[in-house]
Amino acid sequence: MNTFLIFAVIILSLIVTMLIIAFFALSRQVGVLFERVTPVGAMMNNSGPAIGDSTSSMSLSSMHHGDVIIGGERQGYQLILFVAPNCPICKALFPVVRSLRKSEGTWLSVVLASDGDLHQHQKFVEQQQLASIPYVLSQQLGMTWKVARLPFSVLLDENGTVISKGLINNREQLESLFNAKESGFDSLQSWSQGISAGN
């Protein structure tokens, strides 16, 4: 009986040791995988004004902030985020947008854009506490940018030039639009292709 117990303890000790080794090996592989996986930024599309195009100014009436000028020359950068009341991802992004306006308000202005029934959007603005952010309803703006899916965002510089644009699903993708300003790449897809070409 004692021999059996000793044998069982030895076997269990070996199994535990192998599990510990396997755990550290898997941990290392996960770290390597994270280094190799390309970060996913805003997904660009080829429709609408292209990166580097200049946009002419467009004066639109907002719900709570009077007329809002989109595009053209201005002080600071401008972020236009296309949203809709029936878009759950849009609702998840609003706390990020509010935080962004607070932290980057010295050089960045944010405009929310949509189209459709005014009454529905008024309720939406009230429910989501968006009255502090200019909110415009314009079918023409969406058609100009050829917005097909939401939430979609466009970043313009002081001259109304398109710096970056893309479909946004989370905070990281929204912040990736600003990487274009700092890195010189218009998207993370371009950055990835540049890295691949350099290897």
pLDDT above 90: residue 169: no
Provide the residue type at 15 as one letter: I
Answer whether 0.75 is exceeded by the pTM.
Answer: no
What is the share, in percent, of the chain residues with pLDDT greater than 70? 81
Domain ranges of the chain: 1-37, 58-198
Buried b (16+ CB within 10 A) or exposed e, 171-181: eebbebbbbbe
The CATH T-level fold of domain 58-198 is Glutaredoxin (3.40.30)
Please state, rounded to an integer, the average pLDDT across all residues of the chain.
82
Return the pLDDT at 181: 61
Per-residue model confidence as pLDDT tens digits over 99-112: 888 888 889 999 99
Cα end-to-end span (Å), the chain: 63
What is the share, in percent, of the chain residues with pLDDT greater than 90? 42
Output the 3-class SS for the chain: CHHHHHHHHHHHHHHHHHHHHHHHHHHHHHHHHHHHCCCCCCECCCCCCCCCCECCCEEEEECCCCEEEECCCCCCEEEEEECCCCCHHHHHHHHHHHHHHHHHCCCEEEEEEECCCHHHHHHHHHHHCCCCCCEEECHHHHHHCCCCCCCEEEEECCCCEEEEEEECCCHHHHHHHHHHHHHCCCCHHHHHHHHHHHC
Per-residue model confidence as pLDDT tens digits over 17-67: 999 988 888 887 776 665 544 445 455 566 678 888 988 899 999 998 999
Per-residue model confidence as pLDDT tens digits over 127-159: 999 999 999 999 999 988 888 889 999 999 999
Query: CA-CA distance, 162 to 180, in Å (whole number)?
Result: 10
Closest to 77 in 3D by CA, of 150, 176, 177: 177
For the packed helices 188-198 and 171-183, what is the interaxial angle rounded to 10 degrees?
60
Closest to 174 in 3D by CA, of 99, 65, 72: 99
